[in-house]
Structure 1
Amino acid sequence: MIWSVSFSPLVPLAVLLAGAAVALVLSALGGVMRMRGWLLRALAMALVLLALANPAVEREDREPLSSVVALVVDKSQSQTLADRTTTAAAAAETLKERIAALPGFELRVIEAQSSTGSDGTALFGALSDGLSDVSPDRIGGAVLITDGQVHDVPANASALGFNAPVHALVTGTADEFDRRLALQRAPRFGLVGSEQVVTLRLADSGAAQGETDLVRIDVRRDGETVSQRFVSPGQTIDIPVDIAHGGNNIFEFEAESLAGELTTVNNRVVVTIDGIRENLRVLLVSGSPHAGERTWRNLLKSDASVDLVHFTILRPPEKQDGTPISELSLIAFPTRELFSVKIDEFDLIIFDRYERRGVLPMLYFDNIARYVREGGAVLIAGGPDYAEGGSLYRTPLAPILPARPTGRVIERPFHAQISDLGDRHPVTRGLPGGRSDPPDWSRWFRAVDAEVTAGEVLMTGPDQSPLLVLNREEEGRVALLLSDHVWLWARGFEGGGPHVPLLRRLAHWLMKEPDLEEEALRLSMRGSELVVERQTLEAEVTDATVTAPSGRDTRLTFSESEPGLWRASMPTTELGLYTVTDGSRTTLIHVGPQNPREFADVLSTTERLAPVTAATGGSATRLRDVGGDLSVPRIVPLKRAADFSGNGWIGLRTTEASILKGIDRYPLFIGLFGLALLLGALSLVWYREGR
């Protein structure tokens, strides 16, 4: 309860001040002139002015508010090292009990969780959010339970937004030591087949400093060890790496562990280099001019990633019309240069309605078969030529071709159909219009009948005959399109069809585009969520096991999102390398920045928080003493103090905040008391004047 005096003038303040000035002047003149009763006149005028000021006595009924204390518990990844989690939990429970026993204090427990979307530990951000609805004058202090590795420490105490002590209770011990492999420089992209350089630095900190033995660094690409290097602690080393394939090349660099070190998580650095290909080189050989010849040419020329070399055989050797060679404007077909000297420079060779007519000697077909087995790719887009005597199947290419022609050419209208296997294959899955029966695209009118001897049938023609067959031959790939009427789709006949996605996917599958692999396990990040995709031609898939950077395993069950494509997802709470395996395939993904601050320095410390705690009158101390015993300081409530900490204790500020419940007001010059006071003063003046 608080008593006070307030004024509510009955006249404007200017009038009241003017009256006071007049009364003061008259009283001064009366005193100077020694007039009789001037003092009583001054008193009477003062009482009149005071009555006009309308003074009142007020009584405030207030309810005191509790002081809010924040207990911030660090839940970042570095807090999981050694026995820090146990220490923090025990200290938090003890502090909860002690603060709950103090009258007039309200405890708020704030857990600062780690997040893959942020780099480092942000305790003060969590503190600000947790106290955002509390008035600054109610805050009695904050206690941080952490390892001391905090990355959002304010530059000064005024940035906290409140005037109360901040105390830091540090987990971990002073004798910790650790080894760390730090990334200095790494490229983001690299040409496939090129060599890139990654720069690393090995550092030992804490009690481990001074070690001089060489440390082995294992280098792995996509989970397989490719080399080893040796380096001394404190040394920076350049490590060359080869970009083996397109897409993500994930390199791991792992330093051998130091006996007794705090953690081995930061002994490993992961670098993802996106392998990009120089323009893919495609050789297109058209056996003879036909209506669909330009379909392949236009498609490949429109692809910026493709360098196309196109030859059309306009004049086979057997054609003799008497025209002198000197008068011909045709370019001679450089068969030796293309199919012997430079054949390995091409990523794909396409034979479009090619008929064997003596242009290519049999030896060159042997070279093409070898080229495929060693990693090359061949696509045959055949028409009647594939069924006749000049068929490519009647060359040394036959052992690598997936279908044998029967010699029959089917010439009647039909719709190309996607097979059950084709529904699940990335080359033909989801082609626009393919879901309806018949498909919502134009008819074709010719197909070559063939017997499949190897590979996978993705599309069928009339009478369920094979239309598109893919096969892997040792290191290379082969595709066979048993119709030359795909150009009808390109021309828009009967509405056309999806020739662009079909032919482009087909060409890129042959050139080993990673996204078109029919059996693959892929990882990606969607915000902080890890998405696992399993591409397969099988009807069922097995569960996947996700291993987090800390070694914790999580089992994921897939669900089919599209035919042949299964997905599963999980939230990520740790930074670093995640490993996913389904038993037969293993893949990796790095979550977070390449050099996460969370693991840049994992040794517990009081130095980071000492400036801000000292500026608020608090302290930064360790929870465990030299012997390893847990020592939680006592809590002492203080109203005002220059220092809120001492040996074995920490202080919290008792605030004076309160809620106003009501006000009682008692006017002094209203009523009989005021009237009697004024009449008494006037009577005294009259009495004095009458003498």
Structure 2
Amino acid sequence: MNWSITFIPFVPWLALWVIAGIGAVLLALLFWRARRGAVLRLLAFAALLLALANPHLKREDREPLNDIVTVVVDDSQSQTLAGRTNRTAELRKALEDRLKEVPKLETRVVRSNSSGETERDGTMLFTDLGQALADVPPDRLAGVVMITDGQVHDVPDKVAALGFDAPVHALLTGKEGEFDRRLEVTAAPRFGIVGSTQTIEVKVSESKPRDDDIATLTVTHQGKEPRTQTVRIGDRVEVPVEIDHAGPNIVEIEVDGAPGELTAINNRALLTVEGVRENLRVLLVSGEPHAGERTWRNMLKSDASVDLVHFTILRPPEKQDGTPINQLSLIAFPTRELFQEKLDQFDLIIFDRYQRRGVLPLLYLENVARYVERGGAVLVSSGDDYASPLSLYRTPLGEILPAAPSGRVIEKPYRPALSDLGTKHPVTGDLEGARGGGAHGTDPTWGRWFRVVDVSPREAEVLMEGADGRPLLVIGERGKGRVAVLLSDQAWLWARGYDGGGPYSDLLRRLAHWLMKEPELEQETLRASSKGQSLIIERRSIEDEVDPVIVTTPSGEEMSVELDKGERGIWRKVLQVDEHGVYRVASGNLAGLATVGKANTREFAAVTASDEPLGPVLEGTGGGAFWMGRDDTEGVAFPGLPMIRSGHVMHGTDWLGLHKRDAYHVKGVRLFPLFSGFLALALLLGLLAAAWYREGR
């Protein structure tokens, strides 16, 4: 029960103040002229103001409310190091037991995790604290106690941003003077032109100086041998990286461990540089005009990333029909320039129905064969010319071609179908309309062709079959390069939509990109990706069985995973994971990397316990930091918990204070008038009468 005086004026307070001002002026004038009865008039005016203010005696029935203390537990990944997980659990239990002993104090526990379904870059204790205090009145909050290693990444710039006036304390789970070495990426490109060399800038840092200021840096670029270099601690180091293919180029940089360091997790960094090709240079040589020539040209010209050089041989040297030169090609075929001087500048060479007619000397075709052996790509799109005595196979180029012609051409209607291998190969496996089987399953919905050259594959793979099950699309690898032969010149029927058409554009484009070694079209691949807290492992293979995949977590733990078989040579597995960081997957000689959350997260950028990040907030709220890390977690020395009603400094060497708020809930109110009714009227009239009497004498 509580008593107080309150006013319930009959007029607005503004009007009351105006009346008081006018009265004060008039009374001052009376006193200045020394008029009789001025004092009585003052008393009468005061009684009038009091009556208008209508004072009441108020009695409140109050119910005391408990104060609230919020305990924020840091469950971030850096808390898993150096025994901090167990120490955090010990501290939380000890703190909750001590808080239970404080009367009229309610404890709320908030757990803050850096992993989970929400994407976070670092430890966000104050974000979680703000959400937890959304329904807590500021006048009930006694204080906040954080159990953390001190590496908090959302500390507000100003104390006023907290939204409450209560001390914030920190129980630090680490030890003073912890040592750790880490690798920092100071500059890294996001994109790079294929064939160029990009520079990544890194720095090796340590939490405290040591006598040995030398470290060894290891750089691993996917698919290449690691290379090492010696660096000085604290110096910025430039690491050159060659962008050797389009798409993600994954680079891992690691520094060797130091004796006594806290963890090696932050000794490595994973970076992805997106390889961007300059326009692909394609040389298309058409041996003679035919219906399919325009199909090739239109497909290549429609691709903005392709620079096409196209020549059609309208008249071979032996053909002399008297046609004037000005009615033939206006550009001479620059054979020496293309096939000797600038041959290596092309990414792909296509021979479209070309046969030996003396236009290209055999020496130049031998150059093309060496070009493939060194890593080039050749595609032969043939018709009956491939079966003739003038076939390209009868030239030095035949040494690298994957199909030997028998000299027979099969001319009968058929629907191109995928071979068993073709259903699994990335070039043909998911072509629209294939239905995944062709001659070995459901027939495709493609239109018919009418010609196929009979060949025998040579150290090659057959992806598509034509009439009588004969090879239609044959591919192979020669040295560092790749070759392919399409054994029919009737792809243009699909382009024209004949008999329903077919996926000619997808087929030809994928074939060209496979020849140029685009990573997404490799037949044996292992990839890892992530979505939220899911690690997705995908293995593409043309084999019927694949080896288990070894998954290495960011903390170094290994586990063997059996993949589930899918369609078209795809094996897949989805794992739910808890850790954020870099996951490594390996199967045989294949390997891949994926990041869950952020690859180079701030969570492991600095892992030594520190009170510096929280310093401004602790000082601004009167709280303190207490180092609780010990070699053993038994019998943790815990600070005292006094309740203090006022004061700015709310901590000492062995105690942390909480505000005693004395908050309450009003259950009922009763009002008793103090100056109203007949009593006030009688007093007012009496004072006025006395004033008139005094003035009349």
TM bracket (short chain): 0.7 to 0.9
- Does residue 274 (structure 1) correspond to residue 280 (structure 2)? The answer is no
Q: Deviations along 1:392-439, whole A, 9 cap, x unmatched?
A: 333344453333334332333332233443333221233233339654
- Does residue 109 (structure 1) correspond to residue 109 (structure 2)? The answer is yes
Q: Provide the residue aligned with 1:469 in structure 2.
A: 474
Count of residue pairs the alignment pairs up: 679
Q: Provide the residue aligned with 2:220 in structure 1.
A: 220
Percent identity reads 52
Q: Provide the residue aligned with 2:439 in structure 1.
A: none
Pairing partner for 1:496 from 488, 494, 501 = 501
Instruction: Map 1:150-189; keep pairs closer than 5 Å.
Output: 150-189=152-191
By how many angstroms is 1:575 displaced?
A: 5.0
- Aligned-residue RMSD, C-alpha: 3.9
- 8 Å CA contact 2:314–2:328 kept in 1: the answer is no
What runs of 5+ residues in structure 1 fail to find an aligned partner? none
- Does residue 284 (structure 1) correspond to residue 252 (structure 2)? The answer is no
Q: Provide the residue aligned with 1:197 in structure 2.
A: 199
Q: What is the rounded CA distance, in whole Å, between the counterparts of 1:285 and 1:684 in structure 2? A: 122
Matching residue's letter, 1:69: V
Is the deviation greater in 568-577 or in 456-465?
568-577
- 1:633 and 1:555, CA in 2 relative to 1: closer, same or farther beyond 3 A? farther
Q: Provide the residue aligned with 2:212 in structure 1.
A: 211
By how many angstroms is 1:97 displaced?
A: 1.1
Q: Secondary structure at the match of 2:432?
A: coil
Q: What is the rounded CA distance, in whole Å, between the counterparts of 1:509 and 1:491 in structure 2? A: 25
Q: Provide the residue aligned with 2:124 in structure 1.
A: 122
- Does residue 655 (structure 1) correspond to residue 661 (structure 2)? The answer is yes
Instruction: Map 1:49-68; keep pairs closer than 5 Å.
Output: 56-68=56-68
Pairing partner for 1:149 from 143, 148, 151 = 151
By how many angstroms is 1:602 displaced?
A: 2.5
Q: Provide the residue aligned with 2:137 in structure 1.
A: 135
Q: Provide the residue aligned with 2:247 in structure 1.
A: 247
By how many angstroms is 1:668 displaced?
A: 6.8
Q: Provide the residue aligned with 1:615 in structure 2.
A: 620
Q: What is the rounded CA distance, in whole Å, between the counterparts of 1:566 and 1:376 in structure 2? A: 30
Q: Provide the residue aligned with 1:80 in structure 2.
A: 80
- Does residue 641 (structure 1) correspond to residue 643 (structure 2)? The answer is no
Q: Secondary structure at the match of 1:503?
A: helix
- 1:626 and 1:319, CA in 2 relative to 1: closer, same or farther beyond 3 A? closer
- 8 Å CA contact 2:530–2:595 kept in 1: the answer is no
- 8 Å CA contact 1:254–1:267 kept in 2: the answer is yes
Matching residue's letter, 2:210: Q
Q: What is the rounded CA distance, in whole Å, between the counterparts of 1:451 and 1:668 in structure 2? A: 117
- 8 Å CA contact 2:292–2:492 kept in 1: the answer is yes
- 8 Å CA contact 1:418–1:458 kept in 2: the answer is yes
- 8 Å CA contact 2:464–2:471 kept in 1: the answer is yes
Matching residue's letter, 2:138: P
Is the deviation greater in 328-337 or in 122-131?
328-337
Q: What is the rounded CA distance, in whole Å, between the counterparts of 1:194 and 1:46 in structure 2? A: 93
Q: Secondary structure at the match of 2:90?
A: helix
Q: What is the rounded CA distance, in whole Å, between the counterparts of 2:434 and 2:526 in structure 1? A: 26
Is the deviation greater in 136-145 or in 306-315?
306-315
What runs of 5+ residues in structure 2 fail to find an aligned partner? 437-441
By how many angstroms is 1:682 displaced?
A: 10
Matching residue's letter, 1:637: M
Q: Deviations along 1:513-564, whole A, 9 cap, x unmatched?
A: 1111121112334456543322222345455333232213455554566533
Instruction: Map 1:268-347; keep pairs closer than 5 Å.
Output: 268-321=268-321, 331-347=331-347
- 1:12 and 1:306, CA in 2 relative to 1: closer, same or farther beyond 3 A? closer
Q: Deviations along 1:618-656, whole A, 9 cap, x unmatched?
A: 111211369998432122222223322123111111222
- 1:57 and 1:384, CA in 2 relative to 1: closer, same or farther beyond 3 A? same
Q: Provide the residue aligned with 2:510 in structure 1.
A: 505
- 1:329 and 1:498, CA in 2 relative to 1: closer, same or farther beyond 3 A? closer
- 1:309 and 1:18, CA in 2 relative to 1: closer, same or farther beyond 3 A? closer
- 1:449 and 1:225, CA in 2 relative to 1: closer, same or farther beyond 3 A? closer
Q: Secondary structure at the match of 1:634?
A: coil
Q: Provide the residue aligned with 1:484 in structure 2.
A: 489
Instruction: Give the TM-score, by structure 1 length.
Output: 0.86
Q: Provide the residue aligned with 2:235 in structure 1.
A: 235
Q: Secondary structure at the match of 1:646?
A: coil
Q: What is the rounded CA distance, in whole Å, between the counterparts of 1:45 and 1:205 in structure 2? A: 77
Q: What is the rounded CA distance, in whole Å, between the counterparts of 1:677 and 1:324 in structure 2? A: 130
Q: Secondary structure at the match of 1:230?
A: strand
Is the deviation greater in 187-196 or in 643-652?
187-196
Q: What is the rounded CA distance, in whole Å, between the counterparts of 2:198 and 2:47 in structure 1? A: 96
- 8 Å CA contact 2:532–2:597 kept in 1: the answer is no
Pairing partner for 1:577 from 582, 585, 590 = 582
Q: Deviations along 1:85-129, whole A, 9 cap, x unmatched?
A: 222221111101111222211112112211483333222122111
Q: Secondary structure at the match of 1:660?
A: strand
Q: What is the rounded CA distance, in whole Å, between the counterparts of 1:664 and 1:255 in structure 2? A: 75
- 8 Å CA contact 1:669–1:675 kept in 2: the answer is no
- 1:53 and 1:171, CA in 2 relative to 1: closer, same or farther beyond 3 A? closer
Q: Provide the residue aligned with 1:418 in structure 2.
A: 418
Q: Secondary structure at the match of 1:424?
A: coil
- Does residue 544 (structure 1) correspond to residue 546 (structure 2)? The answer is no
